[in-house]
A and B are shown apart, each in its own frame.
Chain A
Amino acid sequence: MTELEFLQAYWWLLIAVLGAALVFMLFVQGGQTMLYCRNSVEDRQLMVNSLGRKWELTFTTLVVFGGAFFASFPLFYSTSFGGAYWLWLSILISFVLQAVSYEYRRKHGNIYGTRTYDAFLLINGFFGCLLLGVAVATLFFGADFEVVRGNILDGTAPVISRWAPSRGIELMTDWRCLLLGVAVFFLARTNAALYFKNNINAGDDFASRLNRKVLINGLIFAVLFVAFVIVLLLHSGLQADANGVVNRVDNLYFHNLVDMWWWGIAFVLGVVLVLAGIGVGAFTKARCGIWSTGLGVALVVVALFAIAGYNSTCYLPSNSAPQCSLTIANSSSSLYTLRTMAWVSLGVPFVLAYIIYVWRKMNIGGITTNDISDKAHQY
C-alpha cells in the first residue's frame, strides 16, 4: 500500500466516523417529530429544551461531514452536490428551518407563532432524516451521471460532472434509497426516545411512555433495516480492477463483508448493540440504552461506509456510465493535501474530548422542570 492509498483509506475512515456521528446525532431530528405525540405542554417544553442543547452538535456534524468530503474527496463533493441539486438543497433548507426554530419558537415577537416553528422542527425532523438516508443510499445504489474532466476546456459547456436531468429528484423516488431513508428516520426516533429517557427527569409515567416509543419505533426500524440489508447484500455493485476499469460484481457488498471480515464482525456487533439498546430501553427502567444503540449505530455505519468504499468498490457508482464511477482512489485530494489534513486530524481526539467533557457536565442530573424556569434562557 502506497502512502497515497493509505491516506485515502484513512480519510475514508474519518468520513465514515463523521457519518456515524451524524447518524447517531440525528436523534435530535427524531425527537423533533415526537413533540406533538400526545405530550403535555410541560413535557413538550422539557423535550424541546433537552434537544435544544444538542441541536447545534448535529448541525455542526453535518457541516463538518460536508467539509471533510470537500477536503478529502472533492470530486464527490463536486459531482454529488452539483448533480443531485434538489436532494441536497432540500436537506439544507430543512436544516435552515431548524437552525432558527429553537431560538425563536417561544420568543415574543416571533411573528409566525410557536406552532410554525414547531412545524419547521417537524419538517426538519422528518425530511432531514429521510433525505440524508436517501443521500447515503446513493453510495450503494448509485445514480445516473458522467464525469468528463476535459469538459473544463470547453468554454461553452465547461461542467465536468453531468447528472440525470431530474437532478436528484429521481433519488427521492427510488424505493431502495427511500427504504434506507425511512429506516434512518425510525432509527432517529428510537434514539430520540432513548435520549429523552436518559436526559429528562419527568417521572415514571413519562418514562413508561418513552419505553413504548422505543419499542414501537425500534421494531419498525429493525424490520426496515433488515429489508435494507437484504436488498444491499443481493445488489450487484461496481468495483474497479487493478487497472482502474470498472466492472459489475454480483453481491459485491456481501463479498466485501466476507473479504473484509473485520468489518463484518463490526457490523454484526453493531447490530447486536443496537438491538440490546432497544431492548434495554423498551423493557427496563435503565437510562443507558442510548449508549448501547449509539455505539452500535457507530459500528454499523462505519462498517457500511467501509464496504461502500474499500476493496476498490465504487462508492458513488454511475449507473449510466460505469467507468465514470467514483472510487476513493480516483476522487481524492492530492497526496500533499491528504497528508496535511492527516496532521490536522490529530486534533480530532482533543475536540472529541472537550465535547464529551462538556456533554457530561451539562447532563449531570438530567433536565427537570427547574431547568426551564428561567424564562430568558429557554426554548
Chain B
Amino acid sequence: MNDLLSVVDWSRAQFALTAIYHWLFVPLTLGLAVIVAVMESIYVRRGDERWKKIAKFWMTLFGINFALGVATGIILEFEFGTNWSNYSWFVGDIFGAPLAIEGIFAFFIEATFVAVMFFGWNRVSKRFHLVSTWMVAIGVSLSALWILVANAWMQNPVGTEFDPVQMRNTMTDFGAVAFNAVAMNKFFHAVASGWTLAGVFVVGISCWMIMRRSNVEAMRSSLKVGTAVGVAGILLTMYTGDGSAVQVAKVQPMKLAAMEGLYDGKVGQDLVAFGFVNPDKKPGDELPAINCEISIPYGLSVLANHDPNTFVPGINDLINGIALTPKGDTINTVSYADRIAAGRVAQDALRAYNAAAQAGDQAAMDSASLVVKENFKYFGYGYFNSPEDAVPPVALTFYSFRVMVMLGSYILAFMLVMAFIAYRRPQWLDKKWLCIIGVLTIPLTYVCSEAGWVLAEVGRQPWIIQDLMPTGIAVSDVTASSVQFTFWLFAFLFTALLIAEVSIMVHYIRSSVRRDILNS
C-alpha cells in the first residue's frame, strides 16, 4: 500500500513536471503562430517586404520554442500509458478518440506545413506560403482543441456509461464528449491565454529592442500586432475564465470551495480578495480558514452563479450534504458519507457481477448490473476511507487562483496601456522604465499561465476522472523507484533543454540588436 501511494505521488509529480514544462512552450506557440500569420498576411496584402522581414524575425523565435513544445508533448501523450495504465484502460474508449483525432487532423497539419513555413519561401508562391503559415496556426489550435476535449471530459465526464462486462467506461455520445460545455470553454480559455502570452512576449521583446534603440521601426510595427492579438487574447481569456468559474460551481463545487478556502458557505457568499490559508484548518473543526482576510461582499456568489443572492457551498457543506435556498432554508443533498456508501455498493455489485458471470448465472448478473448502474454515479467514492479523502489541497488551489486572477488583471491593464501607446503614443516608448515594465511582464505572464493550470489540475484532485476514478487507482504497475528515476531524468533533461532554448532566444534577440532587421 505504501509503495502504491509512493508510485501515485511520483507518477503525479512526473506528469505535473511534464505538463508544466509543456505549458511553458505551448501557449507561446499558440499565440506566436497567429501573430506571425497576421504579420505575413499584412506582407502579402500590402506587398511590403518589411513585414516579411518582421514576420521572419518572429518566426525564428517561434521555431526555437516550437521544438521543445513538440518534445515535451510526446512524453505527455505516452505517459497516459506508461504511468497511468489503469486510467488508459478505464477510459481509453472515450479518451483515446480525441487523442487520435488530434493526431490525424492537427499534428499532421502542423508537421506538414511547418516545413513550408520555414523552408518554403523560395519554393512556393507567396499565397501558398501564407496559407501554410495559417495552417500551422490552425493546426496548433486544433491540437489544443482535442487534448482539451479529453481533459474537459476528465473534469466533467459526459456521454459515457459503465460496461460491467469490460469493467470500464464506454462512449455513448461522441457529440456530448466533443461539445462538452467545459471543453469549449476550456479550449477558448487556453487558446486565448496563449494569444495573451505571445502578445506580451512580442511587446516585451519589442520594448527591449526599442530601449536599446535598435530596429525601432520594426519593433513599433511588431508592437501593433502584438498588442492587438494580446488585447483580444486577454479579453477572451477573462470572459471564458468567468464561464469557467460558473462551470466549476456546477460540476466541481469542491474545487470551487478549495479555490476560496471556503468551509462553510452562505447565501450571498463573499469572495476572498486577500488572505492566507490557515494550514491547520481541517474540515469540521472550528479554526478560521483564512487569516488576515479581506473580502469582497457577495463576490463569490456573483462569480459562481452570476447572482449575489445565491448559496455557494463550502467544503463542510459538501461533505455533509447541505445546501441553502436563497431564503436560507436548508436542503439536504447527498453527503460524502452517503456517496462513499453508494460507491461501495456499486463496487460490491460489480464483484457480484463478476462472480455471477464466472458461474454463468444470468439472473444474478442482471441483478448485479442494475445495482451497479443505480450507484455508478458515485463509483469512485467507494475507494475512499473517509469524506476528507475527497478534499483537494486547499492552499495550493487557493493561492494559484489568486496568482492567476491578480496577474491576469494586471496583464489586462498592461495590454490596454501598451495598445494605446503602440497605436497612439509610440513616442512614450522612449521612457526606459516603461520598456523595463514591458520586459518584466513576460515572466509574470508565464507565472499567470502556469498558475491557471495548477488551479485546474490540483483543484480537481483527488480525482483523475471526476467522481469516477481517484488518481490513486489510475496508476501503472511500476515501482516507485522507477518513476522516481524517470522523474529526475525528465527534470534534468527538460531543464537542460529549457536553458538551451532560453539561451538561443537571448542570443538571437541580442544579435538582432546589432543588425538592421528590415534591411538585412
Contact = CB atoms under 8 A, between A and B. Distances in A.
Interface of A: 53-54, 56-57, 59-60, 62-64, 66-68, 70-72, 74-75, 77-83, 85-86, 88-89, 92-93, 95-96, 99-100, 102-104, 107-112, 149-150, 152-153, 155-163, 167, 333-334, 336-337, 340-341, 344-345, 347-348, 351, 354-355, 358, 361-362, 364, 371, 374, 376-377
Contacts of A60: 103, 107-108, 110-111
Contact of A59 (B60, B70, B80): B70
Contacts of A157: 4
Given A82-B477, A104-B67, A104-B500, A56 B81 contact: no
Contact of A102 (B67, B95, B108, B482): B67
A111 B92 CA distance: 41
29 contacts: A56-B115, A68-B104, A70-B100, A72-B100, A77-B92, A83-B85, A96-B75, A96-B493, A99-B70, A99-B74, A100-B67, A100-B497, A104-B500, A107-B508, A149-B89, A149-B166, A156-B1, A156-B4, A167-B478, A333-B92, A333-B96, A334-B93, A336-B170, A336-B174, A344-B100, A362-B119, A362-B123, A377-B56, A377-B119
Interface in B144-180: 163, 166-168, 170-172, 174
B507 interface: yes
A70 B500 contact: no
Nearest to A358: B112
Interface stretch (B305-313, B346-354, B429-437, B442-450): B346-354
Q: How large is the interface on B (under 10, 10 to 19, 20 to 34, 35 or more residues)?
A: 35 or more
A79 B107 CA distance: 25
A336 B486 CA distance: 36
Interface string B42-70: 00000000000000100010011011101
Given A107-B64, A347-B104, A75 B92 contact: yes
B504 A78 contact: no
Contact of A63 (B74, B94, B120, B383): B74
A74 B93 contact: yes
A344 B56 CA distance: 35
B67 A159 contact: no
B13 interface: no
A161 B68 contact: no
B506 interface: yes
A88 B489 CA distance: 14
A85 B478 CA distance: 8
B80 A351 contact: no
Nearest to B506: A109
B102 interface: yes
B478 A92 contact: no
Contacts of B482: 85-86, 167
A74 B92 CA distance: 5
- In order of increasing CB-CB distance, the 8 nearest A-B pairs are A74-B92, A82-B85, A81-B81, A109-B507, A71-B96, A82-B476, A64-B103, A99-B71
B74 A62 contact: yes
B97 interface: yes
A337 B88 CA distance: 15
Given A110-B500, A336-B171, A153 B347 contact: yes
B227 interface: no
B504 A77 contact: no
B361 interface: no
A159 B475 contact: yes
Nearest to A57: B111
B113 interface: yes
B518 interface: no
Interface in B354-369: 354
B118 interface: yes
Contacts of A159: 85-86, 475-477
A158 B383 CA distance: 10
Given A68-B100, A361-B124, A155 B476 contact: no
Contacts of B86: 78, 82, 152, 158-161
B118 to A, nearest CB: 5
A300 B170 CA distance: 34
A99 B67 contact: yes
B101 interface: yes
